[in-house]
Copies of this chain bind each other. A is one copy, B any other.
Amino acid sequence: MTEQFAATPSPPYYAVIFTALRTAEDAGYGDTADRMSELAKTMSGYLGIESTRGPEGLGITVSYWSNEEAIAAWKAEAEHQQAQERGKREWYLHYELRVARVERAYSGPHGRTKPGSDRP
């Protein structure tokens, strides 16, 4: 991912916060995760994604969406539904998924250029 931060617009918009602990084996997870990142970008209302995973297997992915309808359409997307099912069966020991309405947003520190971006 060349851009680690999501270039979201002014609030309000929506965030899907997905916290997950992986199983030990990859079993196609990496390829599917990459494919889902690309597929999400093609969805109407997609605003961006921020994702990281620590050495102990805990991952947090936050995807940003214009509205609830866009989130519902992404949840129902056919290829994404297959990935969700594999995730439940094979890839995740546990996950928490929260849908939240972003009310306020800030960037910092002031005076530094954002890495990987041409924006100040």
Contacts and interface: CB of A to CB of B under 8 A. Distances in A.
Q: How many copies does the complex hold?
A: 2
A107 B96 CA distance: 5
Nearest to A114: B94
Interface string A1-40: 0001110100100010101010000000000000000000
Interface string A60-77: 101000000000000000
Nearest to A68: B103
Secondary structure class of chain A's binding surface, majority of residues: strand
A80 interface: no
A53 B56 CA distance: 10
The 4 closest A-B pairs by CB, nearest first: A100-B100, A52-B54, A88-B109, A60-B60
Interface of A: 4-6, 8, 11, 15, 17, 19, 21, 50-56, 58-60, 62, 87-89, 92-110, 112, 114-115
Given A92-B109, A99-B105, 13 more contacts: A4-B56, A5-B19, A8-B98, A19-B50, A19-B62, A50-B96, A51-B60, A55-B55, A60-B60, A94-B115, A96-B105, A99-B104, A100-B103
